[in-house]
Structures are given as structure tokens and as C-alpha cells.
Amino acid sequence: MNNILNRVETCAVIPFLNEEKTIKDIVDKTLEYVDFVIAIDDGSNDGSASKIANHNKVILIKNKINRGKGYSLSLGFRKSIELNSLYTITIDADSQHPPEYIPKFFDKLRVSDIVIGNRMHDFKDMPAQRILSNKLTSALLSMKTKKRILDSQCGFRGYRTKILGSIIPGFSGFEAESEIIVKAARNNYIIDFINIPTIYGDEKSKMRAVQAITGFIKVLFV
């Protein structure tokens, strides 16, 4: 990893809500590839934050109430900008994103502004409703942005930190990740993709269908 880039210039943003079982493992594994983790506790009530609170490589930000993934990402982006990092990774806390792929994101960021994980190359383990919603939202975003969007819903992403100020989401929910793509395309940033595994376990999704659909429709008219 040291041959790829200077680790002091990298950080990861990890929003989480009630991930007591997985948060410490994700943070520990992610820190094998980045210098700092910015963890945003989005109103957890299960003791998740206590699992990482004393880690000297973790910057812990707490929302008193649940504000949404987009809101938490915006806090993480602003902190990464404040740290003057070179690259910023976003990764979910539920073990669906393997941290060992982080160096592949860094490699792509040498020539791209944003790199998004693509699970749609092999979706045999993805629930049917997620396949349908992802294909639909990716197709609609492709038409809106005039760029080929392979996986609009994946939260495992890499960014050049210098562009974050212009793509900080205004939406507070899961639709913020689509909003980021729209803002990036509007700014003519280079968006690339990297194949990652499709991992689904027995975890309960925190995405609410009606809210997600409503939010996405609003993004289309931004």
C-alpha cells in the first residue's frame, strides 16, 4: 500500500446506524488501507459508537437523532475537506463492502474524480427487488447525466477530496448518493466504476421503499 500513495493523505467516511455487530470490524479493516476513519453515528441506540470511541485513528461524529445517510455523508465530506486529505473513501458499516478493495479505488482515482463500486456485473446474490430498482435508477440517471451509470445505488465509492465541496448532497436520505452523481456529471467530473462483490447477509435494510422512491424522483428534477 505504501507504494501506491502516502497514507496520511487518505481517509474513509463511514456512516452507521445501529451496527454494533459489524462497526468495529469494518473500521479496523478499513484502517489497514487509510490513515483515518471519519465515523458518523446517525442516532444509534445500540451502543455501536462505544465499539470505536477510543480508537486514536477514528474521528467520531454523533448525530443526536437519526438524520439520514445523506446528512451523515455531508458531515463526513466536510471533515475530510477540513483534514485536507487527498482521497476520500465512503464505505458502509454493514459488511457488504470488502475494505480490501480500497487500493483498487485509489488506483482508479489517479485518473478519475469519482470511482463507484459496481455490483451489477454479478448480481446472483442480490435480492430481486434491489436488482430491479438499481437497474431502473441507473438507467434513469444515465439518461439524465448522459453518462453510463452502472450502479447508482452502491455506497462504496472513492473521491478526490478536492471535488467534494461542489458535490456535497443537499438531500438527507439515501437519494443523496444519486444526487452526488448528478452534481458530479454537471461539473463534468470523470466518473468511473470498479467491479466489487455482491454481498448480502441477513441484515435488515434501513432503506424505506416509499421514501427512497420519492427522494429519487426529486433528484431527477434537480
CATH number for the domain including 26? 3.90.550.10
Instruction: Please provide the DSSP assignment of 106-147 as one string.
Output: HHHTTT-SEEEEE-TTS-TTS-HHHHHHHHHHHHHHHHHHTS
- The whole-model pTM stands at 0.89
Where the chain has pLDDT below 50, the residues are: 1-4
Give the pLDDT confidence score for residue 91 in this predicted structure: 98
Number of domains, the chain:
1
Segments forming the whole domain that contains residue 34: 7-220
Containing 78, the helix (H) or strand (E) segment is helix 69-82
Q: Is residue 26 part of a domain?
A: yes
Question: What are phi and psi for residue 191, nearest 5 degrees?
Answer: -110, 125
Q: Annotate 157-170 with b (16+ C-beta within 10 A) or e (fewer).
A: bbbbbebbeebbbe
* Integer Cα distance of 130 and 134 in angstroms: 6
Assess contact for 16 and 23: CB atoms under 8 A: yes
Give the pLDDT confidence score for residue 1 in this predicted structure: 41
Q: Is residue 2 part of a domain?
A: no
Q: Is residue 1 part of a domain?
A: no
Instruction: Scan for cell 454493514, then name that residue.
Output: 94
Assess contact for 79 and 15: CB atoms under 8 A: no
